[in-house]
Amino acid sequence: MEILPVQIGDYVALRKPHACGANRWRVVRLGADVGLVCTHCDRRILLPRDEFERRLRRRLPGEETENETSGG
């Protein structure tokens, strides 16, 4: 089975929306389990990798983080 190209900090959409109504999740942990944070209510969940791959609908475009500084 091929591991999906998801990295920490990526935003993803799952098959069903969260109970708060949002369908945008930020990836915060990768490994045998995948940690996700809801971007609307900040709820954190941990899914086994195989369940995450089944529920994943698509990767979403990322947001610019305000913490990044230009090297200068």
Per-residue pLDDT tens for 18-46?
889 899 999 999 999 999 999 999 999 99
Strands 44-48 and 56-60 come out as unpaired
Identify the H or E element spanning 47.
strand 44-48
**Predicted TM-score of the model (pTM):** 0.77
Longest alpha-carbon distance in the chain: 43
At which residue do the structure tokens 């709820």 appear? 43
What's the pLDDT band for 1 if we cut at 50, 70, 90?
A: low
CB-CB contact of 60 with 24 (8 Å): yes
What is the residue extent of each domain of the chain?
A: 11-60
